[in-house]
Structure 1
């Protein structure tokens, strides 16, 4: 559900308006990067992901059928916590299961179980035995895997790419650059785990996997739309 204007407990002084922008932003709810759809205060520099602005008070997730996740405005307790989907620290809004102690970022909790752009279908798995195209490792965090089972990308690896390039994102925004110049560079993302292959095979593999990567990144950023995926793909073609 989407509203053009909302009041939010995390920013009671002003109302937040829905907008769609190609500029990257840092969500003031979960403290993670976002692109595209957001709720923004027109007076303050305050932004929220859609999933952070309109959270569910309680959710269940198919990966954890015995768990009940409650929405919290801050992580519980005093010890550092991490998201069980992407392995990244939790420092803001979170879905927390009190009985098992699992935590999920709001955008990770709402990751689609399937992504489909008409050409590539990717399915979300809790763990995959095949190596990730980014790091070459097996297992680890949640992963998106293509229906042909040839392409796999850890959600954790996508988060790491965003963290590594956050300075570039923020500087790009402050200088008024377009999104194409502000989101993380994806150069060598797919090549990293294929160093032993011939150049021809690497190129073919990377071209076929490029759509998979851009779709996953747009989903992790909180906006799995064709527009955002297309812009990311444009950047990848120039990398």
Structure 2
């Protein structure tokens, strides 16, 4: 079955990742389409591929982290340099983003659909998604930043994290999960 996707001028054909016979990256999120991916939407002549969750991502979402405006799915950045910085993880992006142009607010597709809570083997309690890391003053410390309890690197206060507030346990979203929950936020 082939169909038209708003992000590409040609029809896309749905395949299983292993049927492609080659390793490809998703043109929507720029991550590998591996054998665990259930479906890949492909335009072979253009070398254009989409994970199922990127191909089926809603065009608009109302996200709790940005209540002022709906976020619009864009197939490529509109900024000079053709890149954006994700407000959730702080990493640059060159492909799909959920964007609020008036606010210059952007999210990777994967960051937009992170689960609200996760469990992780490194901590005994459920971890909740926080839209910014709370910096807790510590006795005898003059630092104004937190460290990820998994990778031990700095957690930027303006970026998202998973946290257990009761235990002061904070981790990067990427350290806590790779899970994406498509359709988590829908336009009502």
TM range (shorter): 0.5 to 0.7
CA 1:27–1:120: 2 relative to 1, 3 Å: farther
CA distance in 2, matches of 1:123, 1:104: 18
CA distance in 2, matches of 1:154, 1:145: 9
Provide the residue aligned with 2:128 in structure 1: 123
Unaligned 5+ residue runs, structure 2? 136-145, 183-188
Provide the residue aligned with 2:186 in structure 1: none
CA distance in 2, matches of 1:99, 1:223: 26
Provide the residue aligned with 2:103 in structure 1: 100
Instruction: Say yes or no: does 1:83 pair with 2:77.
Output: no
CA distance in 1, matches of 2:52, 2:41: 13
CA 1:11–1:217: 2 relative to 1, 3 Å: farther
Provide the residue aligned with 1:60 in structure 2: 62
Provide the residue aligned with 1:187 in structure 2: none
User: Which structure has the highest helix share of the two?
Assistant: 1
CA displacement, residues 108-151 of structure 1 (integer Å, 9 cap, x when unaligned): 10111112479652210011224312204452410012365353
What TM-score, normalized by structure 2, do the two folds share? 0.67
Instruction: Say yes or no: does 1:30 pair with 2:29.
Output: yes
CA distance in 1, matches of 2:157, 2:60: 28
CA 1:8–1:150: 2 relative to 1, 3 Å: farther
CA 1:42–1:48: 2 relative to 1, 3 Å: closer
Contact 1:8 1:15 (8 Å CA) reproduced: no
Q: CA deviation at 1:78?
A: 2.0
CA 1:108–1:33: 2 relative to 1, 3 Å: farther
Q: CA deviation at 1:67?
A: 2.4
Q: CA deviation at 1:75?
A: 0.9
What TM-score, normalized by structure 1, do the two folds share? 0.54
Unaligned 5+ residue runs, structure 1? 159-212, 225-239
Provide the residue aligned with 1:154 in structure 2: 172
CA distance in 1, matches of 2:3, 2:98: 21
Aligned length: 159
CA displacement, residues 174-218 of structure 1 (integer Å, 9 cap, x when unaligned): xxxxxxxxxxxxxxxxxxxxxxxxxxxxxxxxxxxxxxx4xx232
